[in-house]
Amino acid sequence: MNNYPVIVLDFETTGLSPQYGDRAIEIGAVRIENNLVVDRFQSLINPGFRISSFIESYTGINNRMVAAAPPGAEVMARFAEFIGDHPLVAHNASFDRKFLDWELDLIGQARVGKFACSMLAARRVYPHAPNHQLGTLVSYCGIETDGTFHRALADAEMTGLLWIAMVEELKDSFGIKEVSFALMQKLSKISKAKTLAYLKNIAREQSSVDGN
């Protein structure tokens, strides 16, 4: 069992870069403890301007929906309370991290929790997957889904279930009894050639500690 809580989050946005004026239009997140989803957060966000027809088509979020949504400052204040100082996970975390940091900065707050990237970790846990896009990995791992993608809570839920599947895979395949957040972070950065030796060493160290 893993006792540390993890917040798995996903942003839907008006574009790719907050530095060039793009804003969040939806955030979804799940809290995972002991490899179970125990809490959820979801809100649309009014970015203060019209969103493009491409984003409307891509996400299913339209201008009528965001016009009725609360502003970013209100949503992010609530979300900051939800995430606290917990470790954070996202699929392609560099994207979500920059929007989270930007939106928090706008309300005078800063992220405390460290990030891990489920996409980069999955490249090491599932090296034989056809690719490491979220939808592909969900199918590859046999995770049940209602087929909804590019909505924040649905993607956060699927990423959370993928995270749980990866933890279980490391336990089952390598005999690692305790899959720490630091281990998952390391997998996001380690080279493919060094992954197997690293995981075997972790299992050996844990067995040695248990033996004492």
Q: Name residues whose C-beta falls within 8 Å of residue 198's C-beta, 6 or more positions apart in sequence.
A: 186, 187, 190
Strands 88-90 and 115-117, bridge-based pairing: parallel
Residues involved in catalysis: 150
Query: DSSP 3-state assignment of 8?
Result: strand
pLDDT value at residue 149:
73
pLDDT value at residue 1:
46
What global pTM score does this model have?
0.94
pLDDT value at residue 211:
60
84-115 in b/e burial notation, b at 16+ Cβ within 10 A?
eebbbbbbbbebbbbbbebbbeeeeeeeebeb
**Is residue 10 within 8 Å of 90, Cβ to Cβ?**
yes
Which residue ranges in the chain fall short of pLDDT 70?
Answer: 1-3, 147-148, 210-212
CATH number of 1-212: 3.30.420.10
Q: Which residue has the tokens 């809290």?
A: 31
Alpha-carbon dihedral of residues 114, 93, 26, 3, nearest 10 degrees? -50
How far is residue 132's CA from residue 93's CA, in Å, rounded to a whole number?
A: 13
